[in-house]
Amino acid sequence: MSVYGYMRVSTARQAEKYSPEVQRRQITARCLQDRLRPYKYLEDLGTSGVKPFWERPSVQGMAFKEGDVIVTPKLDRLGRDMLDLLTIVKDFRESGVRLITCDWGEITDDSIQSEMFLTMGGLFASMERRKIRERTMEGKHHQAQSGIFIGGNVPWGCYVQANEDGIKHVYEHPKRQEMIDRIQLLHNEGVPYRKVSEQIGKEFTNVDDTPMRVSHTQVQRIVRGEKSSYRLRRVR
Work out the burial of residue 55: count CB atoms within 10 Å of its CB; fewer than 13 is exposed, 13-18 middle, 19 or more buried: exposed
Q: Does 180 lie in the same domain as 89?
A: no
Does 210 reside within a domain? yes
Q: Does 55 lie in the same domain as 170?
A: no
Q: Does 74 lie in the same domain as 27?
A: yes
pLDDT recorded at residue 156: 79
Number of domains within the chain: 2
Put simply, whether the predicted model's pTM sits higher than 0.85 gets the answer: no
Q: Does 174 lie in the same domain as 139?
A: no
Domain-terminating residue out of 92, 120, 143: 143
Contact 182, 161 (CB under 8 A): no
pLDDT recorded at residue 142: 57
3-state helix, strand, coil in the chain (%, to 5): 45, 15, 40
Q: Does 91 lie in the same domain as 185?
A: no
pLDDT recorded at residue 126: 66
Instruction: Point out which residues pair with 44 in neighbouring strands.
Output: 8
pLDDT recorded at residue 236: 32
Catalytic residue positions, numbered = 10
pLDDT recorded at residue 213: 83
Does 185 reside within a domain? yes
Q: What is the CA radius of gyration of the chain?
A: 28
**Largest CA-CA distance found in the chain, in angstroms, rounded:** 83
Instruction: Point out which residues pair with 45 in neighbouring strands.
Output: 9
Domain range for 94 is: 3-143
What stretches in the chain show pLDDT beneath 70? 12-16, 112-130, 132-151, 226-236
DSSP label at residue 76: G
pLDDT recorded at residue 201: 87
Q: Does 213 lie in the same domain as 108?
A: no
